[in-house]
């Protein structure tokens, strides 16, 4: 699998058609890590597929210097999984405009299967 850093660089260089003002380029899709430890259970009934998520870097996290916190309406839901966060963290540190949204909500016993989200960048047309 190519490194996400190279993909980010390529995505930033690509131009979307002028009519695709709301086009998204999906960078990765992940399960939410830590759902069982944060506010997700109490917020579950209010969340919807398509809802925006906020990504916040936590470089001082004592367990993972690449930690990226995932929030819904400013409420902590969990993290991007450690095995998938290094490129997103690096790009956030460089100021890349990464965003996230919920793509699947699933009533599952395994908390890692409850919320699936995607990280993306919005494609914007390049002036011609």
Indicate whether 24 belongs to any domain.
Answer: no
Summarize pLDDT for 32-78 with one digit per residue, the tens.
Answer: 999 999 988 889 999 999 999 999 999 999 999 999 999 999 999 99
Q: Indicate the average pLDDT of the chain.
A: 85
Provide mean pLDDT across the span 119-124: 85
25 is a domain residue? no
Read off the CATH number of the domain in which 114 is found: 3.30.70.2330
How far apart CA 107 and CA 105 sit, in angstroms, is 7
In a domain, 19, yes or no: no
Question: What residues contact residue 45 under an 8 Å CB cut-off, 6+ apart?
Answer: none
What domain range includes position 114? 4-12+30-122
Number of domains into which the chain is organized: 1
Evaluate whether residue 84 is within a structural domain.
Answer: yes
Q: What average pLDDT score do residues 19-34 get? A: 82
Q: Are strands 99-105 and 115-122 parallel, antiparallel or unpaired?
A: antiparallel
Residue 121: CB atoms within 10 Å = 20
Residue at 117 is within a domain: yes
Residue 120 scores a pLDDT above 60:
yes
pLDDT class of 19 with cuts at 50, 70, 90: very low
- Report which of residues 89 and 16 the model is more confident about: 89
């Amino acid at each position: 699998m190519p490194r996400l850093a190279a993909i980010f660089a390529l995505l930033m260089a690509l131009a979307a058609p002028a009519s695709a003002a709301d086009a998204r380029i999906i960078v990765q899709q992940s399960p939410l890590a830590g759902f069982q430890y944060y506010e997700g259970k109490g917020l579950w009934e209010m969340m919807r597929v398509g809802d925006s998520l906020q990504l916040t870097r936590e470089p001082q996290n004592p367990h993972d210097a690449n930690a990226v916190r995932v929030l819904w309406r400013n409420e902590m839901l969990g993290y991007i999984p450690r095995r998938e966060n290094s490129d997103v963290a690096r790009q956030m540190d460089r100021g890349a405009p990464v965003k996230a949204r919920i793509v699947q909500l699933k009533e599952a016993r395994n908390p890692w299967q409850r919320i699936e989200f995607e990280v993306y960048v919005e494609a914007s047309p390049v002036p011609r």
